[in-house]
Amino acid sequence: MMTAARHQPPLDEKELVDSAKGGDREAFGVLVTRHQRRVWLVCRQYVGADEADAASQEALIKAYTRLDAFDGRAAFSTWVTRIAINTCLDLLRKRRREGLRVVEADGDDHSPTLDIPDERAGPEEQARQRQTISRLKEAEQGLSDRQREVFRLRFYAQMNLEEIADSLNVHTGTVKTLLHRAVHRLRRELGDIR
């Protein structure tokens, strides 16, 4: 017996966006599958792990409702990352207005799960890793807000320099300067210098 061929969403990013603009939820689902990890990791850096789920979902829904504003000049990933950053900043502003604790403002929630070391390492190595993670977290607090933001987007959200520049709407040179200062300072703090 023949079965009806299931609708296959296109694979090309532009075609996916065009289909989603036309209301094809399946096509948007493919875009979400491709970009949700990045969006979540970006949100994680701003609002912390507890709220990253909600913030990233909100950002992706916003992206869907604003697809008509996406003109394809930037990559879809950059565009959706920008929406994620703005969503998180709105959330943080709202929290400040409401007088809530802004412990997550720098994306660091001091959750014990953050200190989970690599399970493949032995006990000594795990203890060492736990210690360095803790020291790194502490050292990040000494960075300026902008340095910390760029550092985290680069290393924890795994964005390249151009993507960070586009997402924050600054020059790549500015990102390089901020990142260089951040790494230079962190290396000093961690005592990694020869």
Q: Does 89 bind other proteins (CB under 8 A)?
A: no
Closer residue to other proteins, CB minimum distance, 70 or 78: 70
Residue 142 makes contact with other proteins by CB under 8 A: no
Residue 10 binds to other proteins (criterion: CB under 8 A): no
The answer to the question of residue 23 lying near other proteins (CB under 8 A) is yes
* Residue list 34-73, contact with other proteins (CB under 8 A): 36-37, 40-41, 44, 49, 52-53, 56-57, 60-61, 64-69
HSE-CB of 26 using CA atoms within 13 angstroms: 6
| Beta carbons of 31 and 20 less than 8 angstroms apart | yes
User: CB of 161: closest distance to other proteins in angstroms?
Assistant: 7
**Binding status of residue 86 toward other proteins by CB under 8 A:** no
For 101-107, which contacts have Cβ atoms below 8 Å and span 24 or more sequence positions?
A: 103/48, 104/46, 104/47, 104/48, 104/50, 104/51, 105/46, 106/140, 106/141, 106/145, 106/148, 107/44, 107/45, 107/46, 107/47, 107/48, 107/152
Residue-level length of the chain: 194
**Is the Cα torsion angle 176, 182, 186, 188 positive or negative in sign?**
positive
Sole window of 2-10, 20-28, 72-80, 86-94 interacting with other proteins (rule: CB under 8 A): 20-28
| Interface ranges with other proteins (CB under 8 A) | 20-23, 25, 28-29, 32-33, 36-37, 40-41, 44, 49, 52-53, 56-57, 60-61, 64-69, 111, 113-118, 129, 132-133, 135-137, 154-156, 158, 160-161, 176, 179-180, 182-184, 186-188, 190, 192-194
